[in-house]
Copies of this chain bind each other. A is one copy, B any other.
Amino acid sequence: MPSADTPLRALKLVQSNSLPMLVQKEIERMILAGEIAIGEWLNESALSQRFSISRGPVREAFRSLEESGLVRQEKNRGVFVREVSVEEADQIYDLREALDELIGKQVTACATPDQIKVLHALMEEMDNVARADDVSPYYALNLRFHDRLAEFTGNRKLVTIYRRLINELHLFRLRGLSQFGGLRKSTDEHRAMVKAIESKKIEAAGRMFKAHVVASRRRMDKAFGRDKTS
């Protein structure tokens, strides 16, 4: 949390963040936090008034958000929070399988002891909330866990793409509000993944990561009451 208490920090903040960027981040936060419902219409002037700015920066933020897949724009109608269909979620999972496999391999190849410590710490936290079957914080921690893994590859483009996909999947999950459980199994898989990283077996880690996504997709399918026997 970057607090702007000192003038120095405030200066850097003002220099780096433009109005449209700030608006973009705030709207993104609102969408991901569920403050704006899926499919809901985003009123340009209402938002600009809410932020006490004009419509220009809001429109620019909309363009960024559209490109990153969070909203959809209809000409002369406005922008809406995107609704991710089942088919699309499926396609995203296909991508995640490939990307997570890559993440597993790359992290195994280049992870530092410090980074592995971070992973262990996150796993411990997740263990705690999983024991209490506390889905909401578990979900957040899970996101952080996978995000860190993506970061540890050192591949910034990968991180960007990965985050966008996760965001869109989040959009899909928000439709059915069930957080589909399987917390214990998930933690077991995480443990196996980190173990694979520590053992420096690149290919094995890749398979492990991919398997985790596959299992994760299965859990989701189950929660949404559809079987993928094919």
Interface on A for B, CB 8 Å cutoff? 15-18, 20, 56, 59-61, 63-64, 66-68, 75, 88, 91-92, 94-95, 97-99, 101-102, 106, 154-158, 161, 165, 168
How far apart sit A157 and B101, CA to CA, in the bound complex (Å)?
18
Residues on B with C-beta less than 8 A from A106 are 94
Residues on B with C-beta less than 8 A from A56 are 56, 59
Q: Could you pull out 18 A-B pairs where Cβ atoms are within 8 angstroms?
A: A20-B63, A56-B59, A61-B63, A63-B64, A64-B64, A67-B67, A67-B68, A91-B156, A92-B157, A94-B102, A94-B106, A94-B155, A95-B102, A95-B161, A98-B98, A98-B101, A98-B102, A157-B165
How far apart sit A127 and B68, CA to CA, in the bound complex (Å)?
38
How far apart sit A63 and B71, CA to CA, in the bound complex (Å)?
14
Number of copies: 2
Return A132 CB to nearest CB of chain B, in Å.
35
Report yes or no: A18 in contact with B75, Cβ–Cβ below 8 A: yes
How far apart sit A74 and B67, CA to CA, in the bound complex (Å)?
19
Instruction: Select which of B16, B92, B101 is within 8 A of A75 by beta carbon.
Output: B16
Residue of B nearest to A97 (CB): B102
Return A190 CB to nearest CB of chain B, in Å.
21
Residue of B nearest to A92 (CB): B157
Instruction: Select which of B59, B75, B158 is within 8 A of A60 by beta carbon.
Output: B59
Return A100 CB to nearest CB of chain B, in Å.
10
How far apart sit A97 and B106, CA to CA, in the bound complex (Å)?
12
Report yes or no: A15 in contact with B156, Cβ–Cβ below 8 A: no
How far apart sit A99 and B102, CA to CA, in the bound complex (Å)?
10
Instruction: Select which of B59, B64, B156 is within 8 A of A66 by beta carbon.
Output: B64
Q: Known pairs A18-B75, A60-B63. 6 more at Cβ < 8 A?
A: A60-B60, A91-B157, A91-B158, A95-B102, A98-B102, A161-B161
